[in-house]
Structure 1
């Protein structure tokens, strides 16, 4: 892994770190390569202007953005965002994520999102994370199930994606549901 980066958590095959402005070229190139994999579920930034707008939310108290990096190469394998963070009595955020095509199907997203969940419930001090998943997105549904999220409900016309209001299943996990889980973190 490159030595000039600060990693927040390290697992057997991936490490997570904050998304930085200097990630723009690699990140947007990976997004463009992965367009078919992501469509119609997620739309990540494909150029410098979109990347700047997208990462601006991570410079506020309501958002955190992470690069999931392959430990072998140091390259970005996926991106994870915690959006809409609400503090006080709620201590909750909504996760969004996308693996890149070169890393898909290798379990790196599972390991990386697991590290982000542990980081959210540890140093970030959150109590609950939600994942809103379109009903046909089987890969995303399997991912959150592997990590212990529970299905809590269904929200018709929940998010405006790709020109239409899309239905979503609401999945969530709380700090209590992960108590004692430390696998993959060093």
Structure 2
């Protein structure tokens, strides 16, 4: 699927582009979410209906306190492969954002999200001016833990009953990447900005 009406990507990698989430992504995003239910359960619950997408996108599009980014396959005409949200952006002395992310089933296991997190770090530490990205991952979510490790994040601790997910308070491991860590410096140097 081609997306000629979408904004210029915020960052480009060899296989994926990052671009902002838009309201008109609803049809493709929700179809991908429906096709990915089995992959995502019990970790993620991205919007899979038009109403849920409208509620999700409404406070995100154009909000300076977060960045909602789509991971789009360059060789597939910009098809949405996944998403990365930089939530709860805090300025001042903290300069931190908390990541939420997910690959869609057709793109899982192909390294696209590893490339995307590298691009997200370059965007966060470059144009967004952040110093730190945090990812909170449930201990049994092996694919997500492998992703943050590959992306160069360090384990900073364990938080019992941290987030309410799938009807219960779930434990999470806290992982972080800072601009001065080797992976953070590399992402900033090679951020591939286009806009």
TM-score by length of 1: 0.95
Q: Any conservation in 2 of the 1:133–1:168 contact (CA below 8 Å)?
A: yes
* Alignment partner, residue 53 of structure 1: 55
Q: For this pair of structures, how many residues does the alignment match? A: 186
Compute the displacement of 1:51 (Å): 1.0
Give unpaired runs (5+ residues) of structure 2: none
Would the alpha carbon gap of residues 85 and 164 (structure 1) be closer, same or farther in structure 2, given more than 3 Å must change?
same
Say whether residues 1:148 and 2:152 are aligned partners: yes
User: Does structure 2 conserve the Cα–Cα contact (< 8 Å) formed by 1:57 and 1:63?
Assistant: no
**Aligned residues of 2:124 and 2:130 also touching (Cα < 8 A):** yes
Alignment of 1:58-137 (within 5 A): 58=60, 59-73=62-76, 74-137=78-141
Q: In structure 1, the residue corresponding to 2:122 is in which secondary structure?
A: helix
| Residue 186 of structure 2 is aligned to residue 185 of structure 1 | no
Deviations 1:2-30 (A, max 9, x none): 44331011100000000100100000100
Say if 2:28 is the partner of 1:22.
no
Once the two structures are superposed, residues 57-93 of structure 1 have per-residue CA deviations (whole angstroms, 9 ceiling, x without a partner) of 3232221100100001110000110111111111111
CA distance in 1: counterparts of 2:58 and 2:66, whole angstroms: 9
Distance in structure 1 (CA, Å) of the matches to 2:49 and 2:64: 24
Task: Indicate conservation of the 8 Å contact 2:122/2:191, yes or no.
Answer: no
Contact 1:12 1:184 in 2 (8 A): no
Write the distance in 1 (CA, Å) between the matches of 2:14 and 2:64.
30
Q: Distance in 2 between matches of 1:85 and 1:162?
A: 24
Distance 1:12 1:48 in 2: 31
Q: Does structure 2 retain, via aligned residues, the 8 Å contact 1:57–1:64?
A: no
Of 81-90 and 164-173, deviating more is: 81-90
Hey, what does 1:4 align to over in structure 2?
Answer: 5
